[in-house]
Each structure stands twice: as structure tokens, then as C-alpha cells.
Amino acid sequence: MFPSPHPPASAQPAGPRADWAPFDLVIFDCDSTLTDVEGIDELARWQGRDAEVAALTNQAMNGEVPLEAVYSRRLDLLQPTREEMRQLGRLYRDHLLPGAAEVVAALLAAERQVFIVSGGLAEAVRDLGQHLGLPSENVYAVGTDYDELSGRWWETWSYRYRRGNPQARYAGHDGGPLTIGSGKLEIVKRLRAQHRGRAMLIGDGTSDLEARAGVELFVGFGGVVSREKVMAGAEVYIRTASLAPILPLVLARPALPPPAAERPTLAAAYAEGVSRLRSGEVVFASAAARAALLRRITPAGE
């Protein structure tokens, strides 16, 4: 069993434990983790303000300034329309990391509970979650309000078969915990109160790193953007643009269990994950923990 990442000083174990236990809850970040884009940066690019907003995003994700200092500022600057938010949802789907859909499908087939917890905008993130087969209640993101009197709002006949005025502009966000740096930890704690089992969190940013105290294992993801602070603080760090290693990290067995193992694409994703893990594309803070996992994923007799 892998030790809790940050127990109280008085409870610090003498060293890594000799086993690696499977995980029951798997919590993904969205931007630069499940998908290779940062949603707010794409909204800015469409408006020609990408450099300005990207600088703010990187400052927050690298931990140089608090997330809350830039969250509202970026959205107030851009005021995206409802149609742009829908386009962002489609962009998320189009830019899923290779194999990400298979990883999520394999976890669900292996009866793991899968969640997305993201500081992204809910309309787009939920679109991605639905695409991956997740129920809406398993997707946590930032809700937004729109000014329905924006644009040619009176031409209701032009959007009568769509949900709301597509030209309606952003008017504000829900002010929830995911708009502040420590807010992801609050959501993770809520999930832990509602669901039993060991939890793993995967993400690329400092807001993910700050939520590590709420899970048994934080896995830093550097396959899209590598952040030094996240790499230094993660118990496990993925250095390749693939989420396949998540499967052996979660399930800790030589192969997928049936019936998931009977689906060739899922079995291939698991084999890829094991291969990448063995090749050194996944870095462990503890050599003993890595050795414990390798014992679990090695078939008997090898």
C-alpha cells in the first residue's frame, strides 16, 4: 500500500510500504491532462488576445500568482459567447490525448469510479465528460451565466432549435471553489465523503498539486505541459503524452480483468501502459514504491 502523501509529521512512516494497493476512485484534471489544450487560452486565441491571457494562465498554473487573482480577470477580458463555449467543447473532444478515451473506458469497465474535477468552464468540460461516457454528476467545473440580451437576441427564430441565444455573452461565473487555487482540494474532499475507497488524482497544474492531501496518490502529468513545481511535488510523474500508464497504476495487476480484457482496444491500452511504465516514462519519488508496483503487474512465473 502506498503511503498517504502528506500525513502529520508525527505519523510519518519510517519508509515506503512493501506493497501497492489498487485504487477505486480516479479523478482527472481536464485541460492539458485529458486534452492537449488549455480552454481559456483557446477562447483568447479566437479573439486575438492569446498572448495576454496565456501569460496570466501560466502564472497561475506555475504557482507564481494565486488562481483567484486571474480567474475572473481573464473571463471579464474575453466575455466569450455561448457559441464559443460550444465550440470549445468540440475542441476538447477533437484534442483528446491519444488513447484517453480507451483509458477511461477501461477504468469504467473495471468498475472504477471516474471523475473530472477542473477549473475549466462547465459547459465545455461537461461536453467532454459526456463524450467519455461519464454522467454529469461526475464532472465538476465552473458554471457560467450569460447576458441573454447580447447580440441579435430578438431573432429567436434563428436559434429556436438550439439551447439559448448563441450570441449571449458571458456575464459572470458561479464563484465556486474551483475558481481559487485551493478549491480543487475542497471538491476532492466532498467526493471522498460521498464515495468509499482509495483515490488517485491526475493533473498537470499547481491546483492539482495542492489537492494531493485529499487523495492517497497524486500523479503529476507532464505529457502536454511540464511544470517543475508539479514534477518536484508528485509522488508519481508521467513524462509522456499518454495516459495509458494510469491503468496499471490504478489496477495494479498484470492485465485488465474480464470482461474489459476481452475488448482488444482496452487490452492494448493496458499493455501500452505497462510498457511505458517499465520503460522509465513514469518517474517515482520512491524506488521501493515502483518496485512494489512492478511486482504486482508482472505475470506469475516471469
Catalytic residue ranges: 29, 31
Q: Please, are residues 240 and 65 in contact by the beta-carbon 8 Å criterion?
A: no
Of 291, 18, 233, 43, the closest CA to residue 3 belongs to: 18
β strands within the chain, DSSP E:
25-28, 113-121, 139-142, 144-147, 169-173, 199-203, 217-221, 236-238, 282-284
Place of cell 495509458: 244
How far CA 245 is from CA of 37, 191, 284, in Å, comes to 20, 23, 12
Contacts with 115 (C-beta within 8 Å, 6 or more apart), sequence order: 25, 26, 27, 28, 134, 138, 139, 140, 191
